[in-house]
């Protein structure tokens, strides 16, 4: 008869416990049983992070293939650099007055000439570009954020909340914004901070209506229903599950909003409702230069050239972002 070798130690089938497995098993799991998180959580988050990184890389690749968008980005970066560091190349401030060079054309002492008050136009263009960028970026960002949350919350809640929010939006859309701007401009003396507040509070309604319409379909998705079932707060659901699916619309609107704000500020300056002296913006410089277009054309054409470069660059960037974020666009199809 053949004698079988002794059977190795096996876990107790009744209890499912291995008497030889003690503390080393705990150490091999990396503390998984001790704190309930660790390798499993990392293994779940890593693919998500990789997908996000891959999507950003794909968008950047599509954007880089659009030559006009790259040209717009280069122009915008140069304008920002000019606004930040252009003042280092002149000894004049935008408020300084040169009584020996009043209304002079461009020269070695004043690269872009001077106005009728003796102010250096180069220094004023640098400061005006700074102020216009601050106003445009602040207003565009503020209107985009307000419209995103208001429109998405109206779509998320529905019912009477949606009716109330939409009623407020429709009411604000018919309010004459021009009269509000005129009143506040006269009260504040053309302070650029108040101009940002007024343009932000009066410019988000139309975008909110568009976002509401698009968010209604996203509200019915399974992941939104799952988040509701898990008890996540409404603001968290809107911020984490609804708005990310509207990112392309929000990014493009932000870029185009910069152009719209610059043009709005320019129009208000022509009507005398924009930023007033001693502060200057590109719109204010155009307004003052338009009155001396034939006698001192440099007062109009130099600010107009900078304003044109700013608006064209942002329009090209917005067009490139649309193509990069929309997979059905031409560049998206090529990628």
pLDDT given at position 329: 53
Per-residue pLDDT at 33 exceeds 70: no
C-alpha to C-alpha distance for 107 and 44, rounded to whole angstroms: 65
**Distance of CA 122 to CAs 87, 119, 223, 307, Å?**
9, 9, 55, 14
Q: State the CATH number of the domain containing residue 117.
A: 1.10.3720.10
Residue 168 in any domain: the answer is yes
Report whether 278 contacts 295 (CB < 8 A).
Answer: no
pLDDT given at position 178: 79
Q: Work out the angle at residue 188's Cα, subtended by the Cα atoms of residues 186 and 191, and round it to the nearest 5 degrees.
A: 115
pLDDT given at position 327: 58
Residue 228 in any domain: the answer is yes
Quick one: pLDDT band at residue 322, thresholds 50, 70, 90? Answer: confident
Other Cβ atoms less than 10 A from the Cβ of 146: the count is 17
Q: Among 91-95, 288-292, 324-328, whose mean pLDDT is lowest?
A: 324-328
Residue 174 in any domain: the answer is yes
Residue 101 in any domain: the answer is no
Number of structural domains found in the chain? 1
The predicted-structure confidence for 146-175, as pLDDT tens digits, reads as follows: 999 999 999 999 899 999 999 999 998 888
Range of the domain at 155: 56-93+112-325
For 320, the token pair is: 């490139």
Residue 191 in any domain: the answer is yes
C-alpha to C-alpha distance for 118 and 112, rounded to whole angstroms: 12
- Lookup result for tokens 């568009």: 210
Residue 35 in any domain: the answer is no
C-alpha to C-alpha distance for 331 and 335, rounded to whole angstroms: 6
- Lookup result for tokens 């872009």: 112
pTM here? 0.79
Provide CB contacts within 8 A for 139, sequence distance 6+.
196, 199, 200, 203, 257, 261
Quick one: pLDDT band at residue 15, thresholds 50, 70, 90? Answer: very low
Quick one: pLDDT band at residue 19, thresholds 50, 70, 90? Answer: very low
Listed residue (147, 162, 150, 152) closest to 240, CA to CA? 152
Quick one: pLDDT band at residue 326, thresholds 50, 70, 90? Answer: confident
Residue 253 in any domain: the answer is yes
Residue 65 in any domain: the answer is yes
Residue 120 bridge partners (DSSP):
114
The predicted-structure confidence for 296-307, as pLDDT tens digits, reads as follows: 899 999 999 999
């Amino acid at each position: 008869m053949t004698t079988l070798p002794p059977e190795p130690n096996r876990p107790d089938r009744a209890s499912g416990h291995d008497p030889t497995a003690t503390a080393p098993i705990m150490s091999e799991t990396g503390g998984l049983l001790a704190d309930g998180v660790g390798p499993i959580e990392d293994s779940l988050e890593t693919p998500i992070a990789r997908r996000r990184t891959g999507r950003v890389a794909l968008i950047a690749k599509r954007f880089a293939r659009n030559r006009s968008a790259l040209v717009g980005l280069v122009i915008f970066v140069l304008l920002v650099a000019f606004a930040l560091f252009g003042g280092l190349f002149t000894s004049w401030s935008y408020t300084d007055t040169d009584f020996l060079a009043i209304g002079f054309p461009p020269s070695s002492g004043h690269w872009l000439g001077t106005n009728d008050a003796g102010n250096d136009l180069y220094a004023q263009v640098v400061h005006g570009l700074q102020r216009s960028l601050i106003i445009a970026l602040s207003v565009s960002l503020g209107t985009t954020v307000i419209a995103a949350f208001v429109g998405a919350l109206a779509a998320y809640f529905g019912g009477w909340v949606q009716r109330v929010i939409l009623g407020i939006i429709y009411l604000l859309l018919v309010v004459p914004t021009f009269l509000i701007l005129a009143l506040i401009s006269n009260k504040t003396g053309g302070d650029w901070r108040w101009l940002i507040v007024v343009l932000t509070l009066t410019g988000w309604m139309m975008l909110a209506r568009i976002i509401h319409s698009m968010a209604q379909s996203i509200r019915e998705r399974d992941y939104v229903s799952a988040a509701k079932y898990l008890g996540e707060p409404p603001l968290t659901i809107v911020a984490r599950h609804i708005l990310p699916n509207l990112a392309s619309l929000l990014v493009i609107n932000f870029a185009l909003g910069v152009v719209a704000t610059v043009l709005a500020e320019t129009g208000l300056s022509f009507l005398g409702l924009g930023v007033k002296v001693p502060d200057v913006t590109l719109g204010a410089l155009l307004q003052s230069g338009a009155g001396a277009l034939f006698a001192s054309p440099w007062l109009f054409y130099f600010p107009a050239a900078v304003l044109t470069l700013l608006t064209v660059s942002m329009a090209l960037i917005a067009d490139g972002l649309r193509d990069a974020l929309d997979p059905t666009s031409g560049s998206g199809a090529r990628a």
